[in-house]
């Protein structure tokens, strides 16, 4: 889809018209162009539309009282994180006002977790939710946060972070296609430096409220995989600085890569990430990184009809992912156990083999007959 450039003087009218008409394509263009959706008044209407929120979502998550639902096991950690929330924004708030916001934040997160008890809270989730609380208000944020949890960051809310970590391996693949020289310089550097940004949709790393709100305009307008392209664009924006660091100075490379550049030219990064995405969509990336991601991952289930998906479908996909993850973890434990006990197992296997051979020879006589049959069966 080709981007349309908007004159800022006309943009307010265009956003208002798109919101009123529910014109998603127009909102995507507006959210991606210079200035994004401009202010929180527009965002309060546009974000639920971009997320695909429906009246059914609102009825489902608001209809019951969260206090009546069973307690979620992660609520103690939620409270600890909420107590540290709103560090950078909003500013110029009274102590009483900030405490009220923290109470709302705790109740908002707890409502989502109790309503979806299969979700596993992670530290940094509160950074995402506080942005929605500030923009949408507590009541409107509830269905929005439910949808973003189940339809956009589901991979990070499983019992293990391993599905989310697989997403990070798309970053080297994107660099390999878009900037081979830079990719070669970073070869062997694991992309876990991007975990904080990916996990919190950049909310933990961006300190200016205007910047994170504007960036969320872009993130919510596009499918979840764009967050990986955005980080690749961040690295490319610092290519000269990165290339000056010696390849074997891994500590300095990691330190540089995990910090966002200052100042942060969001529009240039957005434009670059979209350009790379158009030329090299996930299916065209070199290497196995895209194929290793589960077919139930949000990155793949969102490739088509993201906004039409409902919460029940998302919960079903979560269950499938959980079962798949359990199988993977079981297999990994078995492999580890076998590896750890390799010598005893080989010794036992040799003993069994000798016993089988002895039995066969007693029954059939000559060893050459046994070898002949083994060879015959092998080539059959």
| Of 257, 288, 310, the domain-final residue | 310
Q: What is the 3-state secondary structure (H, E, C) of the chain?
A: CCCCCCCHHHHHHHHHHHHHHCCHHHHHHHHHCCCCCCCHHHHHHHHHHHHCCCHHHHHHHHHCCHHHCCCCCCHHHHHHHHCCCCCCCCCCCCHHHHHHHHHHHHHHHHHHHHHCCCCCCCCCHHHHHHHHHHHHCHHHHHHHHHHHHHHCCHHHHCCCCHHHHHHHCHHHHHHHHHCHHHHHHCCCCCHHHHHHHHHCCCCCCCCCHHHHHHHHHHHHHCCCCHHHHHHHHHHHHCHHHHHHCCCCCHHHHHHHHHCCCCCCCHHHHHHHHHHHHHHCCHHHCCCCHHHHCCCCCHHHHCCCCHHHCCHHHHHHHHHHHHHHHHHHHHHHHHHHHHHHCHHHHHHHHHHHHHHHHHHHHHHHCCHHHHHHHHHHHHHC
Domain annotation covers residue 123: yes
Bond preceding residue 90 cis, omega within 30 of 0: yes
Domain annotation covers residue 327: no
Could you tell me if 196 and 305 lie in one domain? Answer: yes
Could you tell me if 172 and 303 lie in one domain? Answer: yes
Domain annotation covers residue 47: no
Domain annotation covers residue 363: yes
Q: How many domains does the chain have?
A: 3
pLDDT of residue 377: 44
Domain annotation covers residue 84: yes
Could you tell me if 123 and 173 lie in one domain? Answer: no
Domain annotation covers residue 334: no
Could you tell me if 348 and 280 lie in one domain? Answer: no
pLDDT of residue 156: 96
pLDDT of residue 262: 83
Could you tell me if 167 and 138 lie in one domain? Answer: no
Could you tell me if 234 and 166 lie in one domain? Answer: yes
Could you tell me if 169 and 306 lie in one domain? Answer: yes
- List the CATH number of the domain containing 85: 1.10.8.1310
Q: Tell me the pLDDT tens digit for each residue of 152-211.
A: 999 999 999 999 999 999 999 999 999 999 999 999 899 999 999 999 999 999 999 999
Could you tell me if 127 and 167 lie in one domain? Answer: no
Domain annotation covers residue 4: no
Could you tell me if 68 and 182 lie in one domain? Answer: no
- List the CATH number of the domain containing 284: 1.10.472.80
Contact 298, 155 (CB under 8 A): yes
Could you tell me if 226 and 275 lie in one domain? Answer: yes
| Of 111, 130, 151, the domain-final residue | 151
Domain annotation covers residue 61: yes
**pLDDT tens series, the chain, 380 aa:** 444 556 667 899 999 999 999 999 999 999 999 999 999 999 999 999 999 998 777 777 654 577 888 999 999 999 999 999 999 899 888 999 999 999 999 999 999 999 999 999 999 999 999 999 999 999 999 999 999 999 999 999 999 999 999 999 999 999 999 999 999 999 989 999 999 999 999 999 999 999 999 999 999 999 999 999 999 999 999 999 999 998 778 889 899 998 888 888 999 999 999 999 999 999 999 999 999 999 999 999 998 888 888 899 999 999 999 999 999 888 877 776 676 766 665 665 556 555 654 555 455 544 434 443 444 443 34
**pTM assigned to the model:** 0.84
pLDDT of residue 330: 81
Tell me which residue of 52, 40, 51, 49 sits closest to 133, measured CA to CA: 40
Could you tell me if 122 and 203 lie in one domain? Answer: no
Range of the domain at 366: 341-379
pLDDT of residue 176: 96
Rounded CA separation 31/4 (Å): 11
Could you tell me if 245 and 103 lie in one domain? Answer: no
| Of 262, 290, 310, the domain-final residue | 310
Rounded CA separation 17/23 (Å): 8
Bond preceding residue 263 cis, omega within 30 of 0: yes
């Amino acid at each position: 889809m080709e981007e349309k450039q908007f004159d800022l003087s006309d943009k307010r009218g265009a956003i208002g018209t798109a919101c009123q008409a529910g014109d998603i394509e127009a909102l995507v263009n507006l959210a991606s162009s210079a200035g994004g959706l401009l202010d929180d008044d527009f965002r309060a209407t546009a974000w639920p539309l971009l997320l695909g929120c429906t009246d059914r979502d609102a009825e489902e998550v608001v209809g019951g009282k969260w206090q009546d639902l069973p307690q979620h096991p992660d609520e103690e950690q939620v409270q600890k994180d909420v107590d540290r929330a709103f560090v950078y924004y909003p500013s110029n708030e009274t102590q009483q006002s900030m405490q009220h916001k923290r109470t709302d934040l705790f109740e908002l997160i707890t409502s989502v977790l109790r309503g979806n008890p299969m979700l596993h809270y992670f530290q940094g989730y509160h950074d995402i939710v506080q942005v929605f609380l500030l923009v949408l208000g507590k009541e409107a944020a509830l269905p929005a946060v439910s949808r973003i949890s189940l339809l956009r960051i589901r991979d990070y809310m499983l019992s293990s972070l391993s599905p989310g970590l697989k997403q990070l391996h798309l970053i080297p693949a994107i660099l390999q296609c878009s900037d081979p020289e830079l990719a070669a310089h970073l070869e062997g550097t694991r992309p876990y430096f991007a975990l904080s940004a990916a996990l919190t949709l950049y909310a933990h790393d961006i300190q200016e409220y205007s910047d994170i709100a504007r960036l969320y305009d872009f993130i919510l307008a596009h499918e979840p995989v764009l967050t990986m392209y955005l980080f690749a664009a961040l690295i490319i924006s610092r290519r000269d600085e990165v290339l000056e660091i010696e390849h074997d100075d891994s500590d300095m490379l990691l330190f540089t890569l995990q910090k966002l550049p200052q100042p942060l030219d969001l529009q240039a990064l957005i434009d670059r990430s979209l350009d790379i995405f158009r030329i090299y969509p996930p299916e065209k990336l070199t290497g196995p990184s895209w194929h290793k991601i589960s077919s139930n991952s949000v990155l793949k289930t969102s490739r088509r009809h993201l906004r039409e998906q409902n919460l029940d479908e998302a919960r079903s996909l979560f269950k499938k992912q959980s079962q798949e993850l359990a199988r993977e973890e079981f297999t990994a434990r078995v492999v580890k156990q076998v590896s750890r006990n390799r010598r005893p197992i080989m010794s036992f296997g040799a003993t069994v083999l000798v016993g089988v051979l002895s039995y066969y020879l007693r029954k059939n006589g000559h060893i050459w007959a046994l070898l002949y049959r083994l060879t015959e069966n092998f080539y059959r």
